[in-house]
Structure 1
Amino acid sequence: MKTTILILLLLLSPLTQAEETMYVSDQLRITLRTGQGNEHRILKTLASGEKVEVLETTETGYSHVRASDGTEGWVRTQYLMAEPIARDQLAAAQARLAKVEESLAGLRAQLSALKKDKAVLEAAKRELEKELATLKKRLAHLNEVAERPIALDNENRQLRETNLALEQDLELKIQENQILKDKSDREWFVIGAAVLIVGIVLGLVLPRLRVRRRSGW
């Protein structure tokens, strides 16, 4: 007899379990009561999709839960579900989609800006190539003038003025190259090398001109 009573008590006792998060199912509202059954006082109502902490579940079909505001009571277990309701899942998915679309828009804007920067750099590169060609022509002219034996004094003065202008021009181009180098190291490396070659050629030609002038005197 005692054994039978003990078994009945065990069957009727609540089945305790670790706390877990559950959600109110797709019902309009459910009641949180002080006990297991409709005869117990209503503590509050829980809206569809509201998150609760399940403290224990019994075989009578009720669960002891804690609401988000800390209120504890009993609700029917059948109205609880482990995942958020479809409406909340859809809202979360839409929020994630909005973030992805925002990130994508940012990436597209960055790509557009990079394309514009590339176009600007390419235009600057073409301009410098034209100026470099002009400098080469002027250098060829200086070589031609250096070979003339007539009016060396005037030519020498003109050469000094031209050399000064070229040095200033080269300095300006070097500064421009340094500014643009931060945006495109690869493209400006070629231009910087070309400008450096012009400076080296000038350094080799000018001493030669001075030697020729002295020999002409």
Structure 2
Amino acid sequence: MRRYLFITLLLLASQALAERAWVTDEFKITVRSGESPRHKIISMIKSGTPVQVLSRNRATGYSRVRLPNGKEGFVLSRQLLDHPVAREQLATLEAEVAALKTAPSELQRKLADLTERHNRLSREHESLQAEKKRIELELAALKRTSANAVRIANERNELRKQVAELTRSNEELKQEKRELENNSAQRWFMIGGGVTIAGILIGLILPHLRLRRRKDSWGSL
């Protein structure tokens, strides 16, 4: 009774320490329903198959394991290893060697991709620099054009002012000319009128003067 109790406690204690193990380099091993050769075989697993160790019983030499398909059973502990079998290790090493062999070509491909990206970015940078320079030149030309436009507008406004001043001066000169022409016409009219009146007066007075002279000459005789 004590022996079975000890085995039960040992199973319960070791059940909490689940660990990973691999079947030894044998062709196949049996998985039984109990911890003795008399128990039923529930499965056969190939060497190198990974199993999960749920408990170990040193007294019986069996370990309780869980198979990859989820089944649980008992196998001899000596048929388990704490590392992959040589075949699995060899396959892993071969895969690592193959990866190392392909690594240089992969690195070369990545280097070629990076070089291509660098060259493409360099070309794009040069294109952007050229575009920037072109825009700067256009902006400078636009600024000059704007400055010229402002200058031309100022000159146009100044010319308009000068034209307005000249127009006013011309109108004033025309007015002065008209006034002078009017004054001259009036003056000549007055002179002409005066001459006419003087002629009339002379025409009226001169005969009387001639008669008076004749009378005086006759009286002296």
TM-score of the superposed pair, with normalisation by structure 1: 0.50
TM-score (norm 2): 0.49
Q: Which has the higher helix share?
A: 2
